[in-house]
Structure 1
């Protein structure tokens, strides 16, 4: 039987939970966001009655169609199913562009995800930004409770703002989106944001001293969300600070001196 791509249904959840349990050592977030994504441009690849892949398009500020959640079950990789899903999402993006809903497709990926990078380059995407993502152990810091605050434009100090593994460009529209999808915290005048359900933090002021001050507050939020570890997303400009960042208790998932998160973009109009 030929594989088919269709919208996700509630009964697909067990299949996706199985895939999530086999991805990233069981740390995949797809199972956690399944109910939230259901019915919102969330698709599955089905083969012989079994869901073996997923893909998602999320509308972001600036008429961006954000591609995420592209997965193929480990037992079915290497057979072209990832490319099939990627092509389907490109066609979906073109249809949305024709309706005036988006003007570009974007996505972010880890620098070692060679298959995704190769597919992107072959289909007209180019790298528009690079970031570092660092890991940290929650119990490496003495937690300190921060204050939750309402963000303003003055808090958005970056041109491209990471919100978890989604990235939005600084604008009033992006500010409203952040207010709905993220939380901003303040500790002694230092601020950071984090998506409402994740633990990938973005400092809104970057420097060794400010990060050192914020990490205990990030650890507090991580602990409140029941996580043993958390991540910190930083601009590529921190490259000269790598030794100091590691002394603060941050670590890279894979040893590298170059940014390990790539943000791709393909203009559609």
Structure 2
């Protein structure tokens, strides 16, 4: 029986929850965003009545079609289903480009996700930017409450801004989107960003002293959201500071001295 790619439906939830439970050691966010994603270019791959894969295209500021949520159930990997979903989403991107809704396709992936990187390279994507993502636990800090503030264009001091695992370009349209999807905090004059539902933080000053000052406030936000650990996304330019960053209590998920998050981009043609 040929697999079918169709829009996700509410009754797909049990299948999505199973895929999420078996991905990233059960830490996958897919089940948490299921209701939010329904009806918004969220697709599943169905085989013999069972959903075994997912993929999503989110339109971000400046007409970027952001590809995310590409998953294949572990029992069905290695059979080309990831390629089938990826190809389907590229065709969707072309259609949205013809409709004037999308001007570029982008996605982010971890450096060890070799299958996604291979698909990107074979389908015309190029690396647009690189970041480091590091983790830590809240218990290592004396929690300090930051002040919630409204973001402005002046706050966005990075050309490419991580908002969780989505990345937007600095623009007025991005400011509006960030206000709807993220929260900006100020702690003693230092500002950092975090998506409304996540605990991956983006500091807008990445010096060692300022990062050290912000970490207790980030830990406070993570604890408020019921999490005992959190991540920090830093631009690739911090590479010379990595030894000092690690001394602050942050650790790379996997040992590497190179950026471990890649942002890929291509024109939808």
Normalised by the length of structure 2, the TM-score is: 0.99
Q: Distance in 2 between matches of 1:199 and 1:118?
A: 28
Task: Trace 1:223-262 onto structure 2 (pairs within 5 A).
Answer: 223-262=223-262
Q: Distance in 1 between matches of 2:227 and 2:4?
A: 36
Q: Distance in 2 between matches of 1:267 and 1:79?
A: 27
1:75 maps to 2:39: no
Q: Distance in 2 between matches of 1:145 and 1:32?
A: 26
In structure 2, what is the equivalent of residue 102 of structure 1? Answer: 102
In structure 2, what is the equivalent of residue 194 of structure 1? Answer: 194
Q: Distance in 2 between matches of 1:74 and 1:81?
A: 11
After TM superposition, what 4+ stretches of structure 1 lie above 2 angstroms from structure 2? none
Residue 240 of structure 1 and its aligned partner are, at CA, apart by 0.3
In structure 1, what is the equivalent of residue 127 of structure 2? Answer: 127
In structure 2, what is the equivalent of residue 115 of structure 1? Answer: 115
Residue 268 of structure 1 and its aligned partner are, at CA, apart by 2.6
1:172 maps to 2:185: no
Q: Distance in 1 between matches of 2:164 and 2:264?
A: 16
In structure 2, what is the equivalent of residue 203 of structure 1? Answer: 203
Residue 138 of structure 1 and its aligned partner are, at CA, apart by 1.3
Task: Trace 1:139-158 onto structure 2 (pairs within 5 A).
Answer: 139-158=139-158
Residue 207 of structure 1 and its aligned partner are, at CA, apart by 0.6
Q: Which runs of 5+ in 1 are unaligned?
A: none
Q: Distance in 1 between matches of 2:85 and 2:267?
A: 19
Residue 37 of structure 1 and its aligned partner are, at CA, apart by 0.4
Q: Distance in 1 between matches of 2:77 and 2:114?
A: 13
Task: Trace 1:23-38 onto structure 2 (pairs within 5 A).
Answer: 23-38=23-38
After superposition, what is the alpha-carbon deviation per residue over 1:38-94, rounded to whole angstroms, capped at 9, x for unaligned? 100000000010000000000001110000000000000000000000000000000
Residue 205 of structure 1 and its aligned partner are, at CA, apart by 1.1
In structure 1, what is the equivalent of residue 89 of structure 2? Answer: 89
**Secondary structure of the structure 1 residue equivalent to 2:157:** coil
- Residue-pair matches, total: 269
**Secondary structure of the structure 2 residue equivalent to 1:30:** coil
Aligned-CA RMSD value: 0.6
- The answer to whether the Cα contact below 8 Å between 2:8 and 2:39 also exists between their aligned partners in 1 is yes
**Secondary structure of the structure 2 residue equivalent to 1:40:** coil
Deviates more, 1:134-143 or 1:113-122: 134-143
Q: Which runs of 5+ in 2 are unaligned?
A: none
Task: Trace 1:2-81 onto structure 2 (pairs within 5 A).
Answer: 2-81=2-81
Normalised by the length of structure 1, the TM-score is: 0.99
